[in-house]
Amino acid sequence: MSDSFMNDWVYTDIVKDHFMNPRNIWKREEHFEPDGVGEVGSLACGDQMRIGIQVKDDKIVKLRWLTYGCASAIASTSMMSEMATGMSLGEAYRITPDMVTKALGGLPEHKFHCSVLGDKALRAAIDDYLAKQGRENTLKTSVARVMCECKNVTDQAIETLVASGKVRTLKELQDLTGYGTGCGKCKQKIADYFYEMMHVHGKEVAEE
């Protein structure tokens, strides 16, 4: 790429570095054998992420990833892979898109959502590892954030319902959880999160 082209980018130098030189890519010739795998997104939606982890003594000792995504998704996942390696499962589970974005020196506001795929896939890989070990997964509830205080509906509950295909519309989500039927202040926030999770998990919104 020419210097003038790169200079026109609105990304930080750290983002450019991780996009041009992504770390911990999952390469076929490495014969990486993961203990847990997480996949989110879909090619139909334009973004897909796959993360594999190797775990020893409840710490992530190696992480590899593949994505079909934009420069922001690649740079975010590259940074996240460096942050998560060496962390305990609990520490890695609590990595947020905001933490990754800050480590990158920021992302354009309209690209912030691209950093979501990586941490979702990482959590899915940890969930997969714990399930294969036959262990109780207390991490899901430990990071849950209440989005509807009237009905105690958390972001984790919404994501689980979306990922499992149990809800395909906002009405189905409201019928199951009761969100928005109290004070109603959460409606827009939950609607935004619902559509974000539908995209992250490669689901199509059904007609109501």
Catalytic residues: 45, 114
Residue whose entry in the numeric block shows the structure tokens 């992504």: 22
Cα separations in angstroms, 52 against 1, 5, 101, 148, 155: 31, 34, 21, 33, 24
Q: Identify any residues that bridge with 63 across adjacent strands, giving them in sequence order.
A: 53
> 170 in helix, strand or coil?
helix
Phi/psi of residue 62, each to 5°? -155, 140
Inter-residue contact 75 to 114 (CB < 8 Å): no
